[in-house]
Amino acid sequence: MDNNIGEKKSIAGLRAYAAAFLINLSFFAGFRIEAASFPIKLSFSMGFSLLIPIIALILEQENGFVRAYAKQTLAVTVLLLISTFLNIIIVVGNILFFVIFVILSVFQIIATVSSVLKKEFKIFKEAKENVAKILNKKKVTARSWKILYEKYILPKVQEDMYFKDEISKYIFYLVELNGKLQMDFLEVSYDLYTDEKKANKWYKQIVKKIHPDICRHPKAAEAMQSLENLYKGMTRK
């Protein structure tokens, strides 16, 4: 399916995301709930709930995104209409219908929210992937834009403001910082103390940048000694 299919125009000039959202929402137009019998009296009439997805399927012949949600809404609506006959059976039938009603309603709520937020989820996922590439990480974990910014983007911006290059950054961390603060900035994790291969990879990655043989920074030798001490602590050599 085309990745941008949700952006394309659909019924009445609406974007596909909006059209799918309204179609999903039409499912709830047929509910009539009354405080009576056990546990509540639920009735379900055809109305918009059945007509809207049918009309959508007739009007929209090309956009697969809209048609998929229209078919889903129609199927759920028909299933719920059929299950209303359970109300003929007193108590037991009411209970079964209520259970089916809750399950299908939850399913349709998820579909309704998904249809309008799918674009947002896709963009956010792509943003995390791009940030991971920029920071040279396998992946970044963030549940919101705010967390993504504060945890990954802001620190990167701040680093770029204060260090002219990556070499200066590493030398500053190794020479001027110590303790937990130093380890946090150098991304020293517990894994490096339990997995020698990971420790060696971390060590070599920094050595390539700050070793006095290739680095002309005046504090390169001092930084190298600090790195050696950290690495010895990891490998206990």
Q: pLDDT tens for residues 128-165?
A: 777 778 777 788 787 777 777 777 776 765 666 556 78
DSSP bridge pairs for 41: 34
In the chain the first and final C-alpha atoms are separated, in Å, by 55
- pLDDT above 60: residue 108: yes
Instruction: Report the pLDDT averaged over residues 168-185.
Output: 86
CA distance 117 to 141: 19
Architecture of domain 163-235: Orthogonal Bundle (1.10)
pLDDT at 38: 40
- pLDDT above 90: residue 206: yes
Closest CA to 76 of 25, 17, 10, 5: 25
For residue 170, give the 3-state DSSP assignment: helix
- pLDDT above 70: residue 190: yes
Q: Are 38 and 95 in contact (CB under 8 A)?
A: yes
Closest CA to 84 of 111, 104, 110: 104
The confidence band for 15, taking pLDDT boundaries of 50, 70 and 90, is low
Cα–chain center distance at 226: 39
Q: Which range scores top for mean pLDDT: 33-37, 38-42, 64-68, 115-119?
A: 64-68
Q: Are 217 and 164 in contact (CB under 8 A)?
A: no
**With pLDDT > 70 as the criterion, what percentage of the chain qualifies?**
70
Instruction: Report the pLDDT averaged over residues 198-211.
Output: 93
Beta carbons within 8 Å of 124's beta carbon, 6+ residues apart: 145, 148
pTM: 0.39
DSSP-assigned letter for residue 35: S
For residue 68, give the 3-state DSSP assignment: helix
- pLDDT above 70: residue 2: no
Residue with tokens 């007739």: 58
pLDDT at 213: 92
Residue with tokens 């079964």: 96
Instruction: Report the pLDDT averaged over residues 155-183.
Output: 78
Beta carbons within 8 Å of 217's beta carbon, 6+ residues apart: 167, 168, 171, 210, 223
For residue 34, give the 3-state DSSP assignment: strand
Residue extents of the structural domains in the chain: 5-124, 163-235
CA distance 142 to 185: 19
DSSP-assigned letter for residue 29: G
222 or 107, higher pLDDT: 222
Q: Are 70 and 110 in contact (CB under 8 A)?
A: no
CA distance 69 to 76: 11
DSSP-assigned letter for residue 11: G
Run of H or E residues at 162: helix 154-162
The confidence band for 220, taking pLDDT boundaries of 50, 70 and 90, is very high
Instruction: Report the pLDDT averaged over residues 46-74.
Output: 78
Least confident of 27-36, 66-75, 182-191: 27-36
- pLDDT above 90: residue 204: yes
pLDDT at 90: 64
128 or 39, higher pLDDT: 128
List, for residues 86-99, the tens digit of each pLDDT value.
766 766 766 776 77
